[in-house]
Structure 1
Amino acid sequence: MSTEDLAEALRRALRDAGAPGADAPVEMLPDAGLAHSHLRLSGSGLLARLPKQSQMDLSAKDNIAYEAACFERAAASGHTPHLHGVLSPSALLPRGALLVEEIVGRPARLPGDLPSVATAPAAIHALPVPSPAERAPLLDPSDPLTLLREEIGRQAEHLDGAGLSTGTRKAVERTRAAFAECCERTDRPPRRLITFDAHPGNFVIRAGDGVAILVDLEKARYSYPPLDLAHATLYTSTTWDLASSAVLEIDDVLAFYRDWLANTADDAAWRGWLVPLRAAMWLWSVTWCAKWRAQSGLASRAGVDGEDWSGERSDPELIAHVRDRVDDFLSPSGVERVTDELDRLTDLGL
């Protein structure tokens, strides 16, 4: 749809549903993400999040329900926007929409905002974990490490076509082998609600009180918090978004982990897991880059269900930025930067 058609479809869907903000002027926000379009319902304090695809490879109906559950589960943390409404998929909005609180503030500035950023996942991780029967529809695998290994493996099928140098490919495979050994351990850390998408570009520092709010929730699962910590501080995350881009020093990363540990009641439970899960999150990210490189040039899929990384779904400037980041992250220097950091953190006893 054109911008005008999308705005008009949202207006009509809001009115048909009697939803909040139905009479508000609709303003299209700049295209800043591969998975959603965002429209402001001016004067209402609400944003409409319209999926472009499902990163979970779900049907349109299941995807909007999953995203709504992510916001609902994290709300008690005080560090996420409130969910105010759900528009189910329809002829007007084939993928549906969420109506969420608009957070007024500024992008995170690193490393200065890292202490504030650390409080948001810590608050989410501190939430009580529901009984197994109450965790659906969010992912709740019997072994989160096995699921993560399988996800990395599926994405790694695209490594052969990613044009990696021999040294870079060997570094990735060495890290995969180490993670495979980690998965064979019989012990596991505590399971918590995690966002699985805690890169700095997803945080807004709220005006007035400076609280860090994690505004993008669509991939939450019951798994291990160090995956979120890694996603917040890895090079592949901190340089992803232009508005918050920064290269962290090792001392910045160590301080971030200390801030998070200071806000958790069971810090001893994470000993021996922080670096292995950091490496695992990097593997997930770098293999996703290979997958995106392979699929972004394809034509957009017909229909509204499932995953679709076609560059046709996003603004050309956004796609050019993502391509630049992917090229950097898959480059010998980009891979070496992360693997060297992992080695240093191991030596420092993190």
Structure 2
Amino acid sequence: MLETDTAAATQTTAALKEPLRKALAASRLDDDLLSLTPMADKGLAHAHLWLSRRNGKDWVARLPKQSQMRLAADDNLAYQAACFTRASRGGHTPALKAVLPASDALPRGGLLVSAIHGRSARLPEDLQAIAETLASLHAQPLPPSPERAPLLAPTNPWSAMLTELHEQAAYLDQAQIAPDVRCQLLEDLESLTQWCEQATAPDPALISFDAHPGNFLIQDDGKAMLVDLEKCRYSLPGFDLAHASLYTSTTWDTQSHAELSLADVRAFHRHWAAAMTERGAHINVDELLQSRRAMWLWSVTWCAKWQVEQQRARDASARGEDWSADLSDPALIAHVADRVEHYLSPSTVAHVRHEWQALADNSGLA
């Protein structure tokens, strides 16, 4: 949703202009429309177009390429609508404006959300603002169990995470990965599994589950706005904190690329903890540390999964999950392939494991 992204729009996104225009007309949402501007193809799950409107309150169209939640088109739209509706109550995310149903023009439909004017995050200087944004999600009152749907709300968040990790780890056998790296990842997964078996029941909260720095825009007032909300769920805040500060997250997006020091990571956690404590939350430092290990394992096993799945042909039925390289601009696919290879390399795996051990050996993340 960065305004300057419009200058780098690709043919992949530009081809959606007319289908989107038809969908807007069918839903009678085009009366105030001045122009449609394709934005850069930066994500594997959505294409984005900027909608300039006569009243000056612009929108952004989020058009799914797939569902990372493995949902059919209408269910995927309902899930994302719930993500934006609930997260926006904290004041640090775009507001949902309308849902475009799946149609011949847009087989997966789309969401219209308020456009955010801002710049990419600069690390470590914007980490405090990101911490405050995450606290605006995590500190929201937890709804009663029957009211948490359609968002994922596992009874045991650790068990649910381990299930995802083991599903993705199955791809390690097919991925281009050194045998020693595979053994190290499986060793860490086993250690995490053993810790989870002894862990006390955690307190879930509304989380993003996709809080890497590239998903934040910094407004002129310094507020960090989290603009990608496809995967929200009721789970562990530590997953968001990890995703915002792990090496595999802070070096993913070229515009927010940075390598954080241990001091940066600890300061980030302290600021978040202070914001949460002000709201009456209890902080479990050991849980945060293990969440960091879990989110890293999730990220690298996803890399193995993507390496395998991106080779498949595009799903012509436009349903559910689809990592085919055919859905995105070649430049984006090349960038992801480079990052995936780097994150699965022996040197990077050793670096992240060493960092985690250093945190564990020195009073965790406090």
Using structure 1 for the length normalisation, give the TM-score. 0.97
Indicate if the aligned counterparts of 1:87 and 1:96 stay in contact, CA closer than 8 A. yes
Match of 1:279 in 2: 293
**Percent of pairs with identical residues:** 50
Q: How many residues are paired up? A: 349
Match of 2:350 in 1: 336
How far apart, in 1, do the equivalents of 2:91 and 2:205 lie? Answer: 16
How far apart, in 2, do the equivalents of 1:275 and 1:187 lie? Answer: 14
CA shift in 2, pair 1:51/1:68, >3 Å:
same
Match of 1:238 in 2: 250
How far apart, in 2, do the equivalents of 1:206 and 1:330 lie? Answer: 34
Match of 1:49 in 2: 62
1:228 equivalent among 213, 232, 240: 240
Give the partner amino acid of 1:216: D
CA shift at 1:269, angstroms?
3.5
Give deviations 1:184-221, integer Å, cap 9, x for gaps: 125122110000000000000012x1100000000000
Using structure 2 for the length normalisation, give the TM-score. 0.93
Match of 1:210 in 2: 222
1:26 equivalent among 15, 36, 61: 36
Match of 2:259 in 1: 247
Give deviations 1:251-291, integer Å, cap 9, x for gaps: 10010010110111356441321111100011111100000
Segments of 5+ residues of structure 1 without an aligned counterpart are: none
SS class of match (1:49): strand
1:14 aligns with 2:1: no
How far apart, in 1, do the equivalents of 2:14 and 2:143 lie? Answer: 42
How far apart, in 2, do the equivalents of 1:115 and 1:184 lie? Answer: 33
CA shift in 2, pair 1:336/1:163, >3 Å:
same
CA shift at 1:5, angstroms?
4.4
Superposition CA RMSD, Å: 1.4
Match of 1:39 in 2: 49
CA shift at 1:170, angstroms?
2.0
CA shift at 1:12, angstroms?
1.4
Match of 2:315 in 1: 301
How far apart, in 2, do the equivalents of 1:69 and 1:20 lie? Answer: 24
CA shift at 1:20, angstroms?
6.0
Indicate if the aligned counterparts of 1:20 and 1:84 stay in contact, CA closer than 8 A. no
Give deviations 1:17-47, integer Å, cap 9, x for gaps: 1126663311110101000000011244100
Give the partner amino acid of 1:306: G
How far apart, in 1, do the equivalents of 2:195 and 2:30 lie? Answer: 48
CA shift at 1:301, angstroms?
1.4
SS class of match (1:228): helix
Match of 2:138 in 1: 125
How far apart, in 2, do the equivalents of 1:202 and 1:342 lie? Answer: 23
Indicate if the aligned counterparts of 1:79 and 1:212 stay in contact, CA closer than 8 A. yes
Indicate if the aligned counterparts of 1:158 and 1:287 stay in contact, CA closer than 8 A. yes
1:323 aligns with 2:333: no
1:89 aligns with 2:102: yes
How far apart, in 1, do the equivalents of 2:155 and 2:71 lie? Answer: 20
Indicate if the aligned counterparts of 2:13 and 2:39 stay in contact, CA closer than 8 A. no
1:146 aligns with 2:156: no
Give the partner amino acid of 1:247: E
